[in-house]
Structure 1
Amino acid sequence: MKDPRVRALLDVIAYAEGADYATMVKGEGSVPITDFARHPNVLVTLSKSLKSTAAGRYQFLYSTWQGLKMPDFSPISQDKAAVKLLKRRRMLKPLFAGDVEQAIRNGNREWASLPGSPYGQPTHQMAEMLQVYSKSLAKWSRR
C-alpha cells in the first residue's frame, strides 16, 4: 500500500466516488460517519428504486465490507480493504505494468462511478481519471 501507484489509484477511486473516510452515500438518511468502530450499515434512500449502504472513502457496501473481515472501519482499515478489492478485481497487475486505463476498467464492476461501469449510475470519463491519477502519483512520488 506504500507504493505511490497504489496510493494514486486509491485516490482515483475516492475522487470518482466523491467520498472521504467519513462519507455515507448521499441521500435520505445519510449522515457523516462519526463512529469508526464498524461499518455504519445505514440503508440510505437515493431514489424510489435505489437504496444503498455505501460508506467510507471507497463507498463500501455493508455486504462487501462484511466479506472483507476488517477489525474496524478506521481509515487504515478502509485503505487496506480497498487494496483487497484492487487485488480481487485484478487491478494491480495492469497498474504495475503501466496500463492505468486497464487497471481502472478492471475496477468498474466494483465502483459504479468508474468509466464503463455497467450499473447505470453516472460515471467519470477515462481522461479525467487519468488526470487525477497523474496528479496524485506526482504527489505520492514526492513523499
Structure 2
Amino acid sequence: MADMDTPNIRPFLDTIAVSELGRALLAKSDNGYNVLVGSTPSAPILFHSYADHPRRLIQIRPGLSSTAAGRYQLLARYYNPYRQLLGLADFSPASQDRIAVQQIRERLALPLIAAGRFDDAVSRVRNIWASLPGAGYGQNEHSLDYLRGVYVAAGGQRAA
C-alpha cells in the first residue's frame, strides 16, 4: 500500500501502539495486534483469530465498557465500514495497519507526518486515540514529550 511508504508513517504507527498499549503489553502479545481492551502486561487479554474483529464487549470499570481491539484499539463498530472501504478480508496485522493509516488520512495528517511535523499530526488524530494528549476522553493520556521520544526512538524524523 502506497500510504505505508509515507515517510515516518511506520514510526508514527509504532508511537500510537506504544501510547495505546505500552511497551510491555506489545512484548507480551503479537506486537499488540491481538490485544483486547482492558489488557495489562500482567494479565493480557488476547484474541486468537485474525479472521474478523473479535467484537467482545469488555467492562473496563463500572460504567465504562469497550469493544476496542488490536494494535490501535479499533472499536468493533468501525471495523465493518473500514473493511468495506479498504476491501479487507480480515483483521490481520496488515489490515489493522491499513485501517490506522486510513484514519490518519481522514484527519489530513499524512502530509504532516511525511513532513516530520509530529506535534501537528498528533493534534490532528488525538480524537481517534484516547491515549494521545488532548484526546479528552477521561482516560490516561501520555505527554507529548514522552510520545516525541517514542517516535524518534522508532526512527521517526521531526522537522527542524
TM-score normalised by L of structure 2: 0.80
User: Counterpart in 2 of 1:122?
Assistant: 140
1:95 equivalent in alignment to 2:113: yes
- Could you list the structure 1 runs, at least 4 aligned residues long, displaced by more than 3 angstroms after superposition: none
> Unpaired segments of 5 or more residues in structure 1?
139-143
User: Counterpart in 2 of 1:57?
Assistant: 71
Q: SS state of the match for residue 137, structure 1?
A: coil
User: Counterpart in 1 of 2:29?
Assistant: none
Question: Could you list the per-position Cα deviations for residues 15-50 of structure 1 after superposition, in whole angstroms to 9, with x for gaps in the alignment?
Answer: 0001500100016xx831101000000000011110
Question: Could you list the per-position Cα deviations for residues 61-101 of structure 1 after superposition, in whole angstroms to 9, with x for gaps in the alignment?
Answer: 00111220132011111111111011012221211222110
State which drifts further: 104-113 or 2-11: 2-11
User: Counterpart in 2 of 1:39?
Assistant: 53
| Deviation (angstroms), 1:4 | 4.7
Aligned length: 136
Q: SS state of the match for residue 154, structure 2?
A: helix
1 CA distance for matches of 2:69 and 2:131?
14
| Deviation (angstroms), 1:136 | 0.6
User: RMSD of the TM alignment (CA)?
Assistant: 1.5
Contact persistence 1:86–1:92 (CA under 8 A): yes
* Identical-residue share of aligned pairs (%): 37
Q: 2:145 is matched by which residue type in structure 1?
A: A
TM-score normalised by L of structure 1: 0.89
Q: 1:54 is matched by which residue type in structure 2?
A: A
Q: 1:85 aligns with which of 100, 103, 107?
A: 103
> Unpaired segments of 5 or more residues in structure 2?
27-31
